[in-house]
Amino acid sequence: MSSNSPAINETGTAQLQALGAQIRSQRKALRLSATVTAEAAGLSRVTLHRIEKGEPSVTMGAWCGVMAALGMALQAHSGAQANTAGQAPDRAGWIPARVALADYPQLRALAWQVHGTDTLTPIEALDIYERNARHLDLQAMSVDEQALLQALRLALSRNPGSSDAV
């Protein structure tokens, strides 16, 4: 590898840094040390650190090796696809299989008594919302959380007429 970074524009730099951050995030989520990850990818810990920083002078093969070691895949998109890929998907009426408490601040506050898990089933989430409706701050609730609550009520509510109560 050359020690000089190739000339790269700001967009490319930002993309490499974002990819490096995703790699680091995946490694941390898997609770793998830099040393273990580097050994699995067949490179040095210093090179892994440079990849996680998004340095353009690291070979593409090294990037791909690290991603493969972490169970990730690299995919190229055309400019039109890349522009739409950054937009959040429309999830109106969508209910996740497990509701992550970290993603919904109002639910997390209402579920203070839940210990030992970071997720709830959709039925458990709706039960907590309904039992604690008087404590909900609808103005402070994010759009995503409002959409989740509406979808839960629509799909799982036992009292169809009570959806306006909260």
Over residues 77-89, the pLDDT tens digits come to 776 655 555 555 6
* 16, 39: one domain: yes
Domain range enclosing 81: 10-85
74 and 107 fall within a common domain: no
Instruction: Give residue-wise pLDDT tens across range 88-111.
Output: 566 667 788 889 998 899 999 999
How many domains does the structure of the chain reveal?
Answer: 2
Distances (CA, A) of 149 to 49, 106, 126, 146: 41, 11, 7, 5
How far, in Å, CA of 117 to CA of 105, rounded? 15
Assess whether 135 and 157 both reside in one domain. yes
Q: Is residue 37 part of a domain?
A: yes
Distances (CA, A) of 88 to 7, 84, 92, 153: 31, 9, 11, 23
Whether 144 is in a domain gets the answer yes
72 in Cβ contact with 109 (< 8 Å) = no
Q: Give per-residue pLDDT as tens, 123-153.
A: 999 999 999 999 888 888 888 899 999 999 8
pTM: 0.48
Residue 55 lies in a domain: yes
